[in-house]
Structure 1
Amino acid sequence: MNIGKRLKKYRNERHLSQKKLSLHTGISQSFISSIESNKQSPTITTLERICDVLGITIAEFFSKPDNAVPDSLKPLLDNARQLSPVQRKSLINFLESLNGD
């Protein structure tokens, strides 16, 4: 598994520069660059911070492409990624109420 390649893919999908990701995560731009070029590996804590900003879980980060989100759900996820953690929790609660959970 190529962590650097995946990070770059997810970052580019969200139209984030390394600098912007750095600002949102508090992780230096040079370290993000080193991860993407596979010169350094992130710790789990660092990867959690990155995934939080990218709006994905660590499990999603490492999931295989065949577990990809269907196109019909991508707009929902794109919008959810822009929500704050509190807003995401509210959205989850709302969706669970629709499902009767």
Structure 2
Amino acid sequence: MGRQLQAERMRQDLTQESVFLAAGINRATLQNIEAGRGNPTIITLLRIAHVLGVPLAELVG
């Protein structure tokens, strides 16, 4: 999941900072998700998907 998230963020030329600020999460949370660490909540994943403008299934599939 982390690799898909990072790839989509980079495809859109977005920084981690722009995503975590827009999603209302902290920097460490986004970094951990992208690195494949931790277990993010569905709410966190939905917020990130919304910021990226992609369906949740695209990030976790």
| TM-score computed with the length of structure 1 as normaliser | 0.56
CA distance in 1 between counterparts of 2:35 and 2:57 reads 21
CA distance in 2 between counterparts of 1:62 and 1:4 reads 8
Alignment of 1:72-91 (within 5 A): none
Structure 1 runs (4+) greater than 4 angstroms displaced: none
Residue 11 of structure 1 and its aligned partner are, at CA, apart by 0.7
RMSD after superposition: 1.2
> How high is the sequence identity, in percent, across the aligned residues?
36
Choose 1 or 2 for highest CA Rg.
1
> Larger RCO: Structure 1 or Structure 2 (Cα < 8 Å, ≥ 6 residues apart)?
2
| Residue matched to 2:37 | 39
| TM-score computed with the length of structure 2 as normaliser | 0.88
Structure 1: tracts of 5 or more residues without a match: 64-101
Instruction: Describe the superposition over 1:43-95 as per-residue Cα deviations: whole angstroms up to 9, x where unpaired.
Output: 111110000000011123344xxxxxxxxxxxxxxxxxxxxxxxxxxxxxxxx
Alignment of 1:11-30 (within 5 A): 11-30=9-28
Q: Across the two proteins, how many residue pairs are aligned to each other?
A: 61
